[in-house]
């Protein structure tokens, strides 16, 4: 049976606003970060598609929402121009197949090759969301010049918006002259459901310090473990928890053997499954993320929404969520001593934890609610399509 053309069919009736295609580097991250935007767009009359590297369970779940999934080839984490150009031409074929009215590219690789493919296919409107500039900043020489050249081609689209999650990443692109100021929209994060993530009373008398993330070195996991060891040796009574699986294939992935060794030493607990984040956060007294750099860490927004005080590194992205001394404490990157001191301060002061948690909840309600992010994003779509 021939499948209906995407512009002729939608769960909600005729897709009168045309086809919207998300291009992402991970189907799992689409589900965890972009699904509310996609579902609101679907309900508003868009025919919604997702292009991502194939992942069976994620594809099944995405399609269950009446969102059409298109498989992209796997692209290595680091810059690989041969693989990236193959992905670009594969994506161009998808553009020709569904003729999207608007394309939303998310993360470095999709924005790099997707913006060029969109120009080649003469896509009417393009949104490019930059989630981090770490790879650009850490790439030098000829490779760096090629990246700048390619962005120069792709971002020269006549009807394109580039969204950033934090001011530092925006300024990096401006300083490198990769984007014009008139093209920029600042949308801080992907939003949080304030009903799903809400304050919980502290659940146990022994405080729990939580680091919830993919288990990677650049998330500051080693520094967290070392700070936990120092506090335990000093006689501080608390549970230190790592929540999240390893990140196979990522160059910064921590081997599961190392995580098991830390667990066996009794330094930390390792909860490999953090799929139910409201439940995970409910068990925490303090949330910690000592990462080296962030776009805008969703876990910190969710933690603040749950009324949890935060200890994080003073880096781009985390600064957007944590106001030092108000809803958490910011410490220097890789500074184990200051990290341990900040954690110890909160561990010994329940009143301070409570007051910081209340301030964090207020900040999220004002700045990071899912309704705010969805409204701003769909408004941008409407503006481009006009």
Which comes out higher in pLDDT, residue 383 or 140? 383
- Per-residue pLDDT band for 341 (boundaries 50, 70, 90) equals very high
- Per-residue pLDDT band for 3 (boundaries 50, 70, 90) equals very low
Tokens for 127, please give them. Answer: 């949104």
**Of the ranges 6-10, 58-62, 320-324, 352-356, which one carries the lowest mean pLDDT score?**
6-10
**Residue 33 CB: number of other CB atoms within 10 A?**
19
Q: Is the pLDDT reported for residue 1 higher than 60?
A: no
- Per-residue pLDDT band for 66 (boundaries 50, 70, 90) equals very high
**CA–CA separation, 77 vs 206, rounded Å?**
40
Q: Is the pLDDT reported for residue 330 higher than 80?
A: yes
**CA–CA separation, 63 vs 1, rounded Å?**
18
**CA–CA separation, 296 vs 316, rounded Å?**
8
Quote the pLDDT of residue 249: 75
> What are φ and ψ of residue 155, in 5° steps?
-80, 5
Over the chain, what is the mean pLDDT? 90
Q: Is the pLDDT reported for residue 252 higher than 70?
A: yes
Quote the pLDDT of residue 11: 44
| Cα–Cα–Cα angle for 268, 269, 272, rounded to 5 degrees | 130
Domains by residue range for the chain, with CATH: 6-191+369-385 (3.40.50.2000), 208-367 (3.40.50.2000)
pTM score of the predicted model:
0.81
**Of the ranges 82-86, 160-164, 189-193, 315-319, which one carries the lowest mean pLDDT score?**
82-86
**CA–CA separation, 299 vs 178, rounded Å?**
29
Quote the pLDDT of residue 199: 94
Q: How many Å from the N-terminal Cα to the C-terminal Cα in the chain?
A: 35
**Residue 345 CB: number of other CB atoms within 10 A?**
15
**CA–CA separation, 102 vs 146, rounded Å?**
26
Let me know: does 208 contact 239? Beta carbons within 8 Å: yes
CA dihedral 332, 335, 338, 339 (to 10 degrees): 90
What string of DSSP letters covers 260-285? HHHHHHTS-EEE-----HHHHHHT-S
Quote the pLDDT of residue 365: 92
Q: Is the pLDDT reported for residue 232 higher than 60?
A: yes
**Residue 48 CB: number of other CB atoms within 10 A?**
27
Nearest to 327, CA basis, from 335, 315, 316, 319: 319
Quote the pLDDT of residue 139: 66
Cβ contacts of 111 within 8 Å, gap of 6 or more: 105, 128, 129, 130, 151, 154, 162
- Per-residue pLDDT band for 138 (boundaries 50, 70, 90) equals low
Q: Is the pLDDT reported for residue 159 higher than 60?
A: yes
């Amino acid at each position: 049976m021939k499948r209906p053309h995407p512009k002729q069919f939608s769960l909600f009736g005729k897709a009168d606003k045309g086809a919207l295609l998300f291009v992402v580097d991970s189907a799992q991250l689409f589900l965890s970060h972009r699904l509310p935007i996609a579902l609101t767009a679907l309900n508003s009359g868009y025919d919604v598609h997702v292009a991502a590297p194939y992942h069976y369970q994620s594809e099944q779940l995405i399609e269950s929402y009446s969102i059409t999934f298109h498989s992209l080839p796997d692209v290595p984490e680091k810059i690989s121009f041969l693989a990236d150009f193959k992905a670009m031409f594969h994506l161009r074929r998808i553009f020709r197949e569904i003729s999207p009215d608007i394309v939303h590219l998310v993360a470095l690789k999709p924005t790099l090759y997707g913006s060029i493919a969109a120009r080649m296919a003469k896509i009417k409107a393009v949104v490019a969301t930059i989630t981090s500039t770490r790879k650009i900043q850490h790439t030098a020489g000829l490779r760096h010049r090629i990246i700048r050249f390619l962005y120069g081609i792709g971002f020269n689209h006549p009807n394109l918006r580039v969204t950033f999650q934090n001011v530092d990443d925006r300024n990096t692109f401006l300083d490198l002259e990769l984007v014009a100021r008139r093209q920029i929209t600042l949308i801080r994060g992907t939003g949080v459901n304030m009903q799903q993530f809400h304050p919980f009373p502290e659940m146990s008398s022994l405080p729990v310090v939580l680091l919830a993330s993919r288990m990677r070195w650049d998330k500051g996991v080693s520094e967290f473990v070392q700070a936990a060891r120092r506090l335990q040796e000093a006689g501080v009574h608390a549970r230190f928890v790592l929540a999240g699986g390893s990140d196979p294939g990522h160059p910064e992935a921590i081997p599961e053997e190392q995580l098991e060794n830390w667990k066996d030493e009794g330094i930390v607990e390792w909860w490999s499954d953090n799929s139910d984040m409201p439940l995970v956060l409910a068990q925490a007294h303090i949330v910690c993320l000592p990462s080296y750099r962030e776009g805008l860490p969703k876990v910190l927004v969710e933690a603040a929404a749950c009324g949890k005080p935060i200890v994080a590194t003073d880096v781009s992205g985390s600064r957007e969520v944590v106001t030092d001394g108000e809803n958490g404490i910011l410490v220097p990157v890789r500074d184990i001593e200051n990290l341990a001191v900040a954690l110890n301060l909160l561990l010994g002061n329940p009143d301070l934890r409570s007051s910081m948690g209340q301030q964090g909840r207020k900040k999220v309600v004002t700045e990071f609610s899912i309704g705010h992010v969805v409204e701003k994003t769909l408004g941008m779509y409407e503006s481009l399509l006009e």
